[in-house]
């Protein structure tokens, strides 16, 4: 089993290195990661400059690009052999609800899915890697189960792991995405020269956290497993749109 591992926290992230150490004993692992933190870059590709790859002493391939760049290059010629599965993570923080629109972690997995390779994004809910060893154990169990079960399907999974000890995990829930309220207002500050600078506001709290959502599962110390798709077509009442378009004279 060949697995490609990437992330959005960059080469130095503890979640990446610990998961790589765990997986190397059970699979043929290739690691291709951004050289620095790329949180929040979503599925951006670098098109305005060439990309460089540095092979580190540990064999990790470090790219001066985005998580999507890493996976895209890997699956379109950078690697000698195409992986059977792509893993992204383990992310330092949750990727639930609306987060998946911005997440570089989820984006790396999504790019693999677009290019025809099944993929899983793993995130540890909570900052600071407090229970990263538990999260690594859980992620490794999922990967081993995938291998043992011989699953032969193209899929995109978003897995969020509660930031608790392994013994405190209460189960696994298959979930749908919840929703967050809009982000807090941007924050204005000033640099040492007196020029205004701006920071993106804090994430909004969950607003759709009913039973069955990823937010609810995490609140109950369940591992949240969400099957994602990339079809953005709205299969709902579009009568307003048809009426509007009918009034446009071109």
What's the rounded Cα separation, in Å, for the pair 42 and 108? 8
The gap from C-alpha 205 to its chain's centroid, in whole angstroms, comes to 19
Torsions phi, psi for 215 (to 5 deg): -60, -40
Q: Which of 29, 116, 31, 106 is nearest to 75 (CA)?
A: 116
Ligand-binding annotation for 9, yes or no, is: yes
Q: Which residues have a Cβ under 8 Å from the Cβ of 250 and sit 6 or more positions away?
A: none
Q: State whether the Cα torsion 34-38-39-45 is positive or negative.
A: negative
DSSP 163: S
* Helix segments in 81-204, DSSP class H: 104-114, 132-149
Ligand-binding annotation for 39, yes or no, is: yes
Residue identified by tokens 């749908």 is 176
- 224: β partners: 160, 173
Instruction: Write 164-169 long-range contacts (CB < 8 A, 24+).
Output: 164/131, 164/134, 164/221, 165/131, 165/134, 166/131, 166/134, 166/137, 166/138, 168/221, 169/134, 169/138, 169/221, 169/222, 169/223
Known binding-site residue numbers = 8-9, 39, 91
Binding residues for a divalent metal cation: 8-9, 39, 91
């Amino acid at each position: 089993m060949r697995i490609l591992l990437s992330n959005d926290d960059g080469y130095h992230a503890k979640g990446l290195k610990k998961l790589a150490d765990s997986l190397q004993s059970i699979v043929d692992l290739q690691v291709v990661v951004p050289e620095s933190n790329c949180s929040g870059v979503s599925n951006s590709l670098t098109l305005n400059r060439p990309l460089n790859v540095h092979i580190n002493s540990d064999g990790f391939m470090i790219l001066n690009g985005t998580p999507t760049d890493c996976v895209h290059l890997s699956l379109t010629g950078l690697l000698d052999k195409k992986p059977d599965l792509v893993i992204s993570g383990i992310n330092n923080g949750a990727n639930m609800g609306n987060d998946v629109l911005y997440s570089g972690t989820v984006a790396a997995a999504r790019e693999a899915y677009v290019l025809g390779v099944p993929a899983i994004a793993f995130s540890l809910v909570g900052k600071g890697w407090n229970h990263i060893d538990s999260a690594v154990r859980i992620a490794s169990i999922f990967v081993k189960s995938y291998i043992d079960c011989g699953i032969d399907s193209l899929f995109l999974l978003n897995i969020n792991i509660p930031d608790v000890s392994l013994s405190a995990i209460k189960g696994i829930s298959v979930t749908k995405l919840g929703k967050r309220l809009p982000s807090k207002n941007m924050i204005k500050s000033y640099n040492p020269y007196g020029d205004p600078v701006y920071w993106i506001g804090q994430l909004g709290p969950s607003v759709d956290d009913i039973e069955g959502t990823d937010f609810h599962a995490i609140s109950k110390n369940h591992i949240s497993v969400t099957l994602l798709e990339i079809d953005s077509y709205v299969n709902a009442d579009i009568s307003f749109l048809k009426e509007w378009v009918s009034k446009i004279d071109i």
